[in-house]
Amino acid sequence: MDTIWTPEVDPAVKPKYRAVVRAIRSAITSGALSVGDKLPPVRDLGWKLEMTPGTVARAYTVLTDEGVLTAEVGRGTFVAAPKTEPPLNLLEMDVIEHRTGGNNYDVNLFSPHLPNGGQSALIRKLMAQIAQDPPSGLMHYPSRRGAQPAREAMLHWLRDVTLGPLNESDIVLSHGGQNAIMLIFQTILSGRRPVVFLEELCYPGFRRVAAALRAEVVPVAMDEHGVCPIALTAAAERYPEAQILCTSPEVHSPTCGFTPLARREEIVAVARRYHLQIVEDDCYRIGPAQAPGYRQLAPERGWYITSVSKTISPALRLGCAIGPRKQAAALHRSAEHGFFGLATPMTDLASLLLSHPQLEEITARTRDGIGSYVKTAVNILGGYELCWRPDVPFFWLTLPSGWRANAFCRAAETVGVRVRAAEEFAARNAQTPHAVRMAVNAGVSLASFEAAMVRLRELLDNPTEEIGV
């Protein structure tokens, strides 16, 4: 029996067969058409759409050639099952190690390398689809209107985050999280020498953006729950010209910490008293948010940053910045005056990828893969002071007495493991703990990662005589 379905064809799309192609793709993406559904016969659909049968047949042929549809002689045309790439076996990745120039010994733990839960196959499929029929075309400048489907898809992707009233017009797309920080700082900062408050250990990109915009950086003391309200108050009293507090309340990098709701509310109270804007970096969260974001708690001064780098792929350089509703227009201008907007093929990809029905399952597989590496590290290094979370792609290791962070990093490199010292996350001349951050690297096999953890434990168990002299 034929599917009772008629595509919603955009009359502005020319030629007509491309409008039909786009409508069918949209129906599959939205779930209006499912795998195995039979499409109407060519003549019937042509009659409904007031098009020639040849126009509809050409659209069917394009989608059949791409594998989106399948034609069976004597039966009709059906929605094809997507070709999925099987998840990588996390225990057998030597082929990838060889292809990417890695080996079984040298392991770089500087930045997270995500497991492949199927996202690479999905991205390739969507890019091929866009190359055949780019919805935004290939001869136009980016525009706010043209990027609306991508913003709507980003809104869908953020559906589990509590950010207060939010619609697609509040979202400003960016070239990853770092670019989102730049856009927000450019929108907020004013004056000859503005001041930015940072957590005393924080993502180094905050400092780099502040330096680029000639802002002074002031670190604020933390405890296990994040920024200390008393320390923030003291800093605000000392620096009345301060304009921004940057924080990572859901997943703090580098310590894996979390800021509970009560502490967030205390921070909001201080920010309101001293007229501080709160910039929340949420790039490292992979699981559900555990507490409302600052844009929900303080809608007049809460700003939000995220990207797909730690959940889907860092190669895409896709993220977003969201500000208070009254600042939405100014934030859009910061992006448009800086780079017009994301390239139209990227917004086309974002609109399909972030709303794709397979993405939730892919993200779950990626999260499970991260958990396998985390479990391995904890099993080997858990006897030391190791901060970790099962869905966070890095660990924070406080070194035992006798080791200094920089010395440990040098020693680790001699045994083929690269880790980051606490100093890299602190302001210059700051007092830093003797600790290191290690990221999950799923670009090497789990066996190679496990061997690297064993080598690190041997260093921890057997410090050289020179350490501590």
* CA 450, 102, 92, 251 torsion-angle sign: positive
Burial grade of 214 (CB within 10 A; 0-12, 13-18, 19 or more): exposed
Mean pLDDT over residues 20-36, rounded?
85
pLDDT over 90 for what percent of the chain? 73
pLDDT tens by residue, 302-318: 999 999 999 999 999 99
Of the pLDDT bands very low, low, confident and very high (cuts 50, 70, 90), residue 220 is very high
Lowest mean pLDDT segment, chosen from 67-71, 160-164, 358-362: 67-71
DSSP letter at 48 equals H
| Identity of the residue numbered 1 | M
Architecture of domain 94-119+359-461 in CATH? Answer: Alpha-Beta Complex (3.90)
pLDDT tens by residue, 394-411: 999 999 988 999 999 999
Cα–Cα dist 221/228, whole Å: 6
Cα–Cα dist 367/350, whole Å: 21
Evaluate if residue 382 carries a pLDDT over 90. yes
Question: Does residue 335 contact residue 323 with C-beta atoms inside 8 Å?
Answer: no
Look at residue 266 in the predicted model and tell me its pLDDT.
98
Q: Look at domain 16-79 and name its CATH class.
A: mainly alpha
Q: Give the Cβ contact number of residue 357 at 10 Å.
A: 12
Look at residue 95 in the predicted model and tell me its pLDDT.
38
Strand, helix or coil at 352?
Answer: helix
pLDDT tens by residue, 322-338: 999 999 999 999 999 99
Cα–Cα dist 283/318, whole Å: 11
Cα–Cα dist 105/114, whole Å: 19
Look at residue 275 in the predicted model and tell me its pLDDT.
98
* Mean pLDDT score across all residues of the chain: 90
Radius of gyration of the chain (CA): 25
Evaluate if residue 274 carries a pLDDT over 70. yes
> What are the φ and ψ backbone dihedral angles of 149, each rounded to 5 degrees?
-60, -35
Cα–Cα dist 280/252, whole Å: 10
Question: Does residue 256 contact residue 389 with C-beta atoms inside 8 Å?
Answer: yes
Of the pLDDT bands very low, low, confident and very high (cuts 50, 70, 90), residue 205 is very high
Look at residue 97 in the predicted model and tell me its pLDDT.
40
DSSP bridge partners of 303: 279
Cα–Cα dist 321/301, whole Å: 13
Look at residue 104 in the predicted model and tell me its pLDDT.
57
DSSP string, 187-249: HH--SSS-EEEEESS--HHHHHHHHHTTPEEEEE-EETTEE-HHHHHHHHHH-TTEEEEEE--
pLDDT tens by residue, 187-203: 999 999 999 999 999 99
Cα–Cα dist 310/349, whole Å: 18
Evaluate if residue 98 carries a pLDDT over 50. no
The yes or no reply on domain 143-342 and CATH 3.40.640.10 is: yes
Sheet containing strand 394-398, edge to edge, reads 385-387, 394-398, 435-439, 420-421
Lowest mean pLDDT segment, chosen from 14-23, 334-343, 455-464: 14-23
Burial grade of 400 (CB within 10 A; 0-12, 13-18, 19 or more): middle
Closest CA to 59 of 111, 122, 16: 16
Residues 6+ apart with CB under 8 A from 332: 144, 172
Look at residue 72 in the predicted model and tell me its pLDDT.
87
Ranges of each domain in the chain = 16-79, 94-119+359-461, 143-342
Strand, helix or coil at 431?
Answer: coil
Per-residue tokens: 353 = 């990828």
Residue 385, Cα to own-chain centre: how many angstroms? Answer: 28
